[in-house]
């Protein structure tokens, strides 16, 4: 009896606690919004933030609470996800604007290599190296090439080739995580259908660029002067392309003396490999 009585007391206390917890859950428990759960299930779960929210939960919550009505903000999910969300909300699905990642650097190994200090300090990530980026012969705008973007990509759509990141377009879903994790902002997001792209991010003057990279933009402005649609403007020695004005005529590609401007780079994977 000396053993049984304490056991019975413990069981009684456990039973009372279980009853209290059950009643509390019924009275005070927060019930999950079924609409939120349905929308959340329709999203791919990439939590990339391409929709403008912190993650899939934030986007789903905003939709379920009626704060927004756009069903097409999930770029990785595309039109399929937009239609699924629209079905839950009972509205017409919006068309998703597909985007792809593009590396604005096609530099030589000499331009992108880490100097002796980087090698000596043994930096493992682009973020670490960017904080100590130095050396007269190293382009301060170049792809660092340590693979932060590749590590962030959920689709294995990025490889590092000769010290520069390359995008495998057929695997890219446009989530934008690579661009967010690039400390030099070398990776850009461009809309589907883009044909012309600027393959350099260097803002240095031409004379300095030539010392670092034979593939770098020298700021000669020939592309801007050649474009018949005024789709190219110069920003601190670097051409900026307005895709809404670009007709993909290719005249800027032919005019560029250092072949920084590329055409048809999003058409096939071999352009990136």
Domain boundaries defined on the chain: 34-89, 99-272
Give the single-character DSSP code of 92: P
Q: Which of 9-18, 95-104, 168-177 has the lowest mean pLDDT?
A: 9-18
pLDDT recorded at residue 272: 43
Say how far apart CA 179 and CA 165 lie, in whole Å. Answer: 11
Q: What is the pLDDT of residues 243-271, one digit of tens each?
A: 889 999 999 999 999 999 988 765 544 44
Tokens 């590396």 label which residue? 103
Place of tokens 């895709």: 243
Q: Mean pLDDT, the chain, as a whole number?
A: 84
Q: What pLDDT score was predicted for residue 112?
A: 59
Neighbours of 138 (CB within 10 A): 20
Q: What is the pLDDT of residue 218?
A: 94
Name the band, by pLDDT with cuts 50, 70 and 90, for residue 139: confident
Q: Which residues contact 263 (CB under 8 A, 6 or more apart)?
A: 195, 196, 248, 250, 253
Residue pLDDT, tens place only, 144-182: 888 999 999 999 999 988 788 999 888 899 999 999 999
CATH fold for domain 34-89 = 3-methyladenine DNA Glycosylase II; Chain A, domain 3 (1.10.15)
User: CA 68 to CA 50: how far, in whole Å?
Assistant: 15
pLDDT at 10 over 70: no
Higher pLDDT, 28 or 192: 192
Residue 90: per-residue pLDDT: 93
* CB-CB contact of 174 with 101 (8 Å): yes
pLDDT reported for residue 169:
84
What average pLDDT does the segment 73-99 reach? 93
Task: Write down the pLDDT at residue 212.
Answer: 82
What is the structure's pLDDT at 268?
Answer: 45
pLDDT, residue 123, reads 78
Across 185-195, average pLDDT: 87
> Which is more confident, 209 or 137?
209
Q: Does domain 99-272 have CATH number 3.30.310.10?
A: no
Q: What percent of the chain has pLDDT over 90?
A: 49
pLDDT exceeds cutoff 60 at 117: no
Ranking 80-84, 86-90, 123-127 by mean pLDDT, the lowest is 123-127
What are the tokens at 199?
């393959």
pLDDT at 124: 82
* Whether the predicted pLDDT of 201 surpasses 60: yes
Q: 131 CB contacts (<8 Å, ≥6 apart)?
A: none
């Amino acid at each position: 009896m000396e053993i049984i009585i304490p056991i019975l007391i413990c069981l009684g206390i456990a039973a009372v606690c279980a009853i209290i917890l059950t009643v509390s859950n019924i009275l005070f428990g927060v019930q999950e919004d079924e609409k939120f759960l349905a929308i959340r299930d329709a999203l791919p779960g990439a939590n990339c933030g391409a929709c403008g929210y912190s993650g899939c939960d934030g986007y789903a919550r905003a939709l379920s609470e009626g704060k927004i009505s756009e069903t097409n903000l999930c770029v990785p999910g595309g039109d399929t996800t937009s239609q699924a969300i629209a079905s839950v909300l009972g509205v017409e699905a919006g068309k998703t604007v597909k985007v792809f990642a593009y590396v604005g650097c096609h530099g030589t190994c000499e331009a992108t290599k880490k100097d002796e200090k980087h090698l000596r300090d043994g930096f493992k990530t682009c973020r670490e190296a960017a904080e100590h980026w130095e050396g007269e012969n190293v382009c301060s705008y170049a792809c660092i090439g340590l693979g932060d973007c590749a590590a962030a990509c959920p689709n294995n759509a990025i490889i590092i080739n000769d010290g520069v990141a390359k995008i495998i377009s057929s695997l890219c879903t446009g989530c934008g995580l690579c661009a967010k994790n690039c400390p030099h902002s070398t990776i850009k997001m461009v809309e589907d259908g883009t044909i012309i792209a600027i393959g350099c991010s260097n803002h240095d003057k031409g004379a300095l660029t030539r010392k670092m990279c034979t593939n770098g933009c020298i700021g000669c402005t020939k592309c801007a002067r050649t474009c018949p649609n005024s789709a190219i403007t110069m920003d601190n020695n670097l051409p900026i392309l307005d895709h809404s004005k670009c007709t993909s005529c290719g005249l800027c590609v032919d005019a560029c003396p250092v072949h920084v401007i590329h055409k048809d780079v999003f058409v096939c994977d071999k352009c990136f490999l």
